[in-house]
């Protein structure tokens, strides 16, 4: 380890130090001064972004740099995903502060665990070895398990955390088992060396194929796609809305990075094997996710099944194994994170003291209570449904085009059909807001910072749709 390698991982070291600082500072603060914790967490994200955007670590013509015995990689893809993670988590913290204050849970634990989970996300994004992938994945998982049970007085939250822990442990075990098989077949933990070994000895090794199957299981669980989706509805419903807000956004960026590093950097020559597996995972996720969401009356469960469907669309972009397909998938997962934080931010907005706005009926007559918030929710729902010119439309269009380029027209047709089917439950929310009488006549208000974040979030949804070329180009040039 030398100073040059330390500088490559400077954002990670900064985040680690500041997460510990936030944890220690909280010991000296009273209840009335907890706002300092929020400020420290936001400053941590701002400076982490500034450090990451220092792009002078790449020489002319060099696409990536590795460190720590090639287990850590710094490249354009990683920087884009990390900066996106900082922006999304900044929105999460801004929305969550209102929730934590209203529900008497404004403690440093939330910020500390979220920052440690973000550190795991960053390690997973920059992972270039099996060891680093597992380290990042477990750091995320252990932090999120505790976050789901963050409300100590909620039996439902504790139950959800236990379900997530048990299923997550099984998935981690399967992933580790698959990694051990790949190591046994190739003799290396570094992804680039694994790729070279497969290229040299061929892709017909049965041990390698079995390892690939278990790796795909681990990736599928992290995405939350069918049939490894069982935890998502229960965790989304049982966890506090502030925690669900986090789970539904930032870790999805890490899941994409994990899939790309594994399937492209390490197991690219096994494309013919993992393409078939992912195609069926994507198909069943899109079909089951949309059909199950139609039947939900709890908006958190509806958005949970919606997540399953969206992650199926993300997998569509991975299928071709091409730069365009990976770029389309990356664009989709970034867009989904932006839409997801806005949707759960609206749930937090409508939640009163001690009572979350979980029912679809809680959105009745929102236009009469506050037209501005109703417009924001309309933008979110239309974008999730894939209606032009919202950013969600371009995301769906790009992954479907990637599938068509891979000569899988049948899958593209099914994806289009169920995208139309899925529009029903999004439009149902809009119906409640504009054509139903409100159950509560009170005007909906929020603090200035919450309104500012929600406004920026809404502008991103419509702005990145109308002016989509810049973000698309950024994603495409990352591969």
Is the pLDDT confidence value at 103 over 80?
yes
Least confident of 31-35, 378-382, 414-418: 31-35
The answer to whether residue 59 scores a pLDDT higher than 60 is: no
Q: Is the model's pLDDT at 61 over the cut of 80?
A: no
> Which residue in the block uniquely carries the two structure tokens 């442990």?
169
The single-letter DSSP state of residue 359 is B
Distance CA 161, CA 146 (A): 7
| Cβ atoms 238, 159 nearer than 8 A | yes
User: What's the pLDDT at 54?
Assistant: 80
In this structure, the number of other CB atoms found within 10 A of the CB of residue 335 comes to 29
Alpha-carbon distance of 12 to 325, in angstroms, equals 28
Judge contact between 295 and 373, C-beta under 8 A.
no
Sign of the C-alpha dihedral computed for residues 145, 147, 151 and 154 taken in this order: negative
Phi, psi angle pair for 314, to nearest 5°: -60, -40
pLDDT higher than 70, residue 184: yes
Chain mean pLDDT for the chain: 90
With cut-offs at 50, 70 and 90, classify the pLDDT of residue 151: confident
Per residue in 224-258, pLDDT (tens digit) is 998 888 889 999 998 999 999 999 999 999 999 99
The position carrying tokens 């988590």 is: 89
| pLDDT tens sequence across 273-283 | 899 899 999 99
CA distances from 466 to 114, 333, 390, 455, 461 (A): 32, 18, 7, 16, 9
Widest CA span in the chain: 70
The pTM assigned to this predicted structure is 0.94
Using pLDDT thresholds of 50, 70 and 90, give the confidence band for residue 57: low
pLDDT at 354: 67
The token duo for 136 is: 């990042």
User: Whole-angstrom Cα distance, residue 347 to residue 362?
Assistant: 9
Cα–Cα nearest to 307, from 280, 331, 343, 348: 343
Cα 120 to Cα 140: distance, rounded to the nearest angstrom: 5
Coil, helix or strand for 447?
Answer: coil
Residue 19 CB coordination number (10 Å): 22
Please state, in angstroms and as integers, the Cα–Cα distance from residue 201 to each residue in 152, 205, 212, following that order. Answer: 53, 8, 16
**Which pLDDT does position 427 carry in this prediction?**
93
**Which residues, 6+ apart, have CB-to-CB distance to 410 below 8 Å?**
none
pLDDT above 80: residue 30? no
Q: Is pLDDT above 70 for 56?
A: no
Band (66; pLDDT cuts 50, 70, 90): confident
- Rounded to whole angstroms, the Cα distance separating 444 from 433 reads 13
* Residue 420: count of CB within 10 angstroms of its CB: 11
Asked if pLDDT for residue 60 goes beyond 70, the answer is no
Percent of the chain scored above 90 by pLDDT? 62
In this prediction, residue 58 carries a pLDDT of: 60
pLDDT digit string (tens) for 344-365?
A: 999 999 887 667 888 888 888 8
Are the C-beta atoms of residues 357 and 440 closer than 8 Å to each other? no
For the chain, give the percent of residues with pLDDT over 70: 97
Q: List CB contacts of 375: < 8 A, sequence separation 6 or more.
A: 458
DSSP 298: B
Q: Decide: helix, strand or coil at residue 64.
A: strand
- Secondary-structure breakdown of the chain: helix, strand, coil percentages, each rounded to the nearest 5: 75, 5, 20
The model's pLDDT over 267-324, given as tens digits with 9 standing for 90+, comes to 888 888 899 899 999 999 999 999 999 999 899 999 999 999 999 999 999 999 899 9
Q: How big is the chain, counted in residues?
A: 479
What pLDDT sits at residue 353? 65
Q: 355 forms bridges with which residues in the sheet?
A: 352
Pick from 28-42, 121-135, 350-364 the range whose average pLDDT is largest: 121-135
Cα 39 to Cα 93, 110, 151, 243, 304: the distances in Å are 10, 13, 22, 19, 30
pLDDT at 69: 87
Please state the rounded mean pLDDT for residues 125-135. 93
Rounded-to-integer distance, Cα 417 and Cα 204, Å = 37
Report residue 298 CA to chain centroid gap: 21
């Amino acid at each position: 380890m030398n100073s040059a390698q330390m500088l490559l991982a400077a954002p990670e070291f900064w985040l680690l130090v500041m997460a510990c600082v936030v944890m220690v500072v909280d010991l000296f603060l009273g209840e009335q001064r907890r706002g300092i914790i929020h400020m420290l967490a936001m400053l941590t994200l701002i400076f982490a972004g500034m450090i990451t955007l220092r792009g002078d670590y790449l020489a002319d013509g060099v696409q990536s740099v590795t460190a720590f015995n090639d287990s850590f990689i710094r490249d354009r893809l990683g920087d884009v995903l990390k900066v996106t993670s900082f922006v999304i988590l900044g929105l999460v913290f801004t929305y969550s502060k209102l929730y934590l204050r209203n529900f008497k849970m404004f403690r440093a634990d939330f910020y500390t665990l979220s920052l440690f989970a973000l550190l795991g996300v960053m390690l997973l994004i920059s992972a270039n070895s099996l060891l680093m992938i597992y380290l990042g994945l477990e750091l995320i998982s252990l932090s999120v398990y505790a976050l789901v049970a963050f409300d100590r007085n909620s039996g439902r939250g504790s139950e959800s955390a236990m379900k997530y822990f048990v299923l997550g442990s099984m998935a981690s075990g399967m992933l580790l088992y698959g990694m051990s098989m790949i190591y046994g077949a190739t003799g290396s933990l570094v992804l680039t060396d694994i790729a070279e070994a497969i290229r040299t000895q061929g892709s017909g090794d049965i041990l390698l194929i079995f390892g690939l199957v278990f790796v795909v299981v681990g990736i599928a669980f992290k995405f939350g796609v069918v049939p490894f989706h069982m935890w998502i509805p229960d965790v989304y419903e049982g966890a506090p809305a502030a925690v669900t807000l986090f789970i539904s956004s930032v870790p999805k960026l890490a899941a994409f990075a994990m899939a790309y590093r594994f399937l492209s950097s390490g197991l690219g020559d096994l494309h013919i094997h993992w393409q078939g597996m992912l195609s069926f995972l994507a198909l069943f996720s899109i079909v089951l996710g949309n059909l199950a969401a139609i039947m939900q009356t709890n908006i958190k469960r509806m958005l949970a099944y919606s997540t399953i469907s969206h992650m199926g669309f993300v997998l569509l972009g991975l299928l071709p194994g091409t730069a365009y397909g990976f770029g389309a998938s990356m664009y989709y997962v970034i867009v989904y994170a932006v839409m997801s934080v806005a949707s759960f931010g609206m749930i937090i907005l409508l939640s009163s003291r001690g009572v979350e706005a979980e029912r679809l009926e809680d959105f009745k007559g929102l236009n009469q209570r506050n037209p501005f918030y109703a417009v924001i929710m309309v933008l979110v729902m239309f974008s999730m449904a894939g209606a032009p010119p919202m950013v969600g439309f371009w995301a769906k269009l790009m992954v479907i085009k990637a599938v068509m380029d891979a000569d899988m027209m049948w899958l593209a047709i099914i994806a289009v059909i169920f995208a139309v089917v899925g529009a029903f439950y999004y439009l149902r929310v809009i119906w409640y807001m504009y054509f139903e009488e409100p159950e509560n006549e009170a005007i909906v208000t929020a603090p200035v910072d919450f309104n500012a974040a929600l406004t920026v979030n809404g502008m991103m949804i419509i702005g990145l749709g109308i002016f989509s070329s810049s973000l698309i180009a950024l994603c495409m040039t990352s591969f």
